[in-house]
């Protein structure tokens, strides 16, 4: 393998709800802490926003095309209400030891809801597939790397280290290869085709099992590297959380923003002190994807997440406009356990057990 054709960017794990890495924009490069997001399009960084550290300023970069490009508005699902406005620019993009020219979105107006109190990253590198017309997005950065023959292989891989690893050694994103130090090489990756006709990193799930129960239906599953939770249709998530609790149903009224609308969520389970004392007896939750019988399992300590002073289920409901739009979103609780390879040439996603 030609290591000059592999770009590895270390990730920092923040409180198990966010992973970020450093990239540079402009000349001289302004270092940006960014979230690598497989459900977002384009590159988004702050442009001359007052009070924001390391804000990019167009006219301080000697390599920026200063002509204004088109306007852009950010759309990231499933749980942000971003309300961001930007102007597309072209400048030098620094990733690891490589540089290339890339279109990005210089954000000049941002709703503060975008920034979590727990995270310090200020930008997004969208890694989603390019959607068909009439959508108009700049090419993803992996497409630029591929077209300029910068990669050993036309893939990128994501390694998110587990709950016990915080700070700058939280994992890595690798463009051009899969680092064998990051996964169980003996078991290797099982690869799955993307949903036919889909322009997102979405595969077909056969079913979800809670313990020995295989009656919970599957469906399309979006693989989302920036989601701190696992989302699904409300009725399915309710069934999963109810079975986790041994058939007991409790409801916690909770307001949250989903797809830009405030909704009342009655399905987020907060575990009581007594329940946490016996959490080791709770059932495993497993996933099986179409095309293989390999089972991907989450144990209780992997789907129970500490948020503030509470312990909550990683399984969260999403509200959809129609049944045809329903899908799962597999985020960090799943990706911490399973190293993921995104093959944008063959339109496949592969999973292997992650190394700690």
Enumerate residues 6+ apart whose C-beta is below 8 A from 232. Answer: 219, 240, 315, 316, 317, 318, 327, 328, 329
The pLDDT, as a whole number, for residue 257 is 44
Residues 159, 11, single domain; the answer is yes
CB 220 within 8 A of CB 205: yes
Residues 63, 97, single domain; the answer is: yes
Q: Are residues 138 and 242 in the same domain?
A: no
Indicate yes or no: pTM above 0.85: yes
Q: 221 and 323: one domain? A: yes
pLDDT for 9-36, tens place per residue? 999 998 788 899 999 999 888 888 899 9
Q: Which residues of the chain have pLDDT under 50?
A: 78-79, 112-115, 255, 257-264, 267
Please indicate, yes or no, whether residues 47 and 97 belong to a single structural domain of this protein. yes
Q: Are residues 101 and 169 in the same domain?
A: yes
Domain co-membership, 258 together with 152: no
CB-based contact 103:42 (threshold 8 Å): yes
Predicted pLDDT of residue 110: 59
Domain that holds residue 226: 184-353
Last residue of a domain, one of 175, 197, 212: 175
CA 100 distance to own-chain centroid: 24
**195 and 259 both lie in a single domain:** yes
Give the C-alpha separation, 182 to 119, whole Å. Answer: 24
Give the distance, in angstroms, between the CA of residue 128 and the centroid of all CA atoms in the same chain: 10
Write the CB contacts of 347 (distance below 8 Å, at least 6 apart in sequence). Answer: 193, 194
Unique residue bearing structure tokens 């469906």: 219
The residues, ordered by sequence, that sit 6+ positions from 356 with a Cβ below 8 Å of its Cβ are 161, 162, 164, 165
- Report whether 16 contacts 163 (CB < 8 A): yes
**CATH code for the domain in which residue 113 is found:** 2.40.70.10
B/e letters for 192-216, b = 16+ CB within 10 Å, e = fewer, are bbbbeebebbbbbbbbbbbeeeeeb
Same domain assignment for residues 147 and 80: yes
Instruction: Give me the pLDDT at residue 94, please.
Output: 93
pLDDT at res. 263: 47
φ, ψ (nearest 5 deg) of residue 291: 100, -5
Q: How many domains does the chain have?
A: 2
């Amino acid at each position: 393998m030609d290591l000059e054709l592999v770009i590895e960017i270390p990730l920092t794990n923040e409180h198990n709800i966010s992973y970020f890495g450093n990239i540079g924009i402009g000349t001289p490069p302004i270092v940006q802490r960014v979230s690598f997001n497989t459900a977002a399009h384009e590159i988004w960084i702050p442009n001359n926003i007052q009070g924001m550290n390391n804000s990019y300023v167009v006219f301080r970069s000697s390599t920026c095309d200063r002509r204004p490009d088109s306007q852009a508005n950010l759309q990231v699902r499933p749980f942000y209400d971003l309300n961001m406005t930007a102007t597309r620019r072209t400048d030098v993009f620094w990733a690891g030891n490589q540089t290339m020219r890339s279109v990005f979105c210089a954000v000049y107006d941002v709703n503060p809801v975008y920034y979590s109190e727990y995270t310090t990253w200020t930008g997004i590198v969208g890694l989603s597939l390019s959607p068909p017309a009439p959508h108009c997005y700049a090419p993803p950065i992996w497409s630029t790397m591929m077209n300029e023959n910068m990669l050993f292989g036309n893939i990128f891989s994501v390694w998110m280290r587990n709950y016990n690893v915080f700070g700058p050694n939280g994992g890595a994103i690798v463009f051009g290869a899969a680092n064998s130090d990051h996964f169980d090489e003996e078991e290797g990756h099982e690869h799955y085709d993307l949903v036919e006709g889909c322009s997102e990193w979405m595969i077909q799930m056969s079913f979800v099992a809670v313990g020995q129960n295989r009656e919970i239906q599957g469906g399309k599953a979006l693989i989302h590297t920036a989601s701190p939770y696992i989302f699904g249709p409300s009725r399915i998530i309710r069934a999963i959380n109810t079975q986790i609790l041994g058939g007991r149903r409790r409801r916690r009224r909770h307001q949250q923003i989903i797809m830009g609308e405030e909704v009342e969520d009655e399905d987020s389970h907060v575990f009581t002190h007594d329940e946490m004392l016996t959490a080791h007896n709770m059932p495993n939750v497993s996933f099986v994807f179409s095309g293989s019988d390999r089972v991907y399992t989450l144990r209780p300590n992997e789907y129970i997440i500490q948020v503030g002073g509470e312990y909550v289920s990683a399984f969260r409901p999403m509200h959809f406009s129609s049944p045809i739009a329903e899908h799962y979103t597999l985020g960090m609780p799943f990706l911490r356990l399973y190293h993921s390879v995104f093959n944008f040439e063959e339109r496949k996603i592969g999973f292997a057990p992650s190394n700690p």
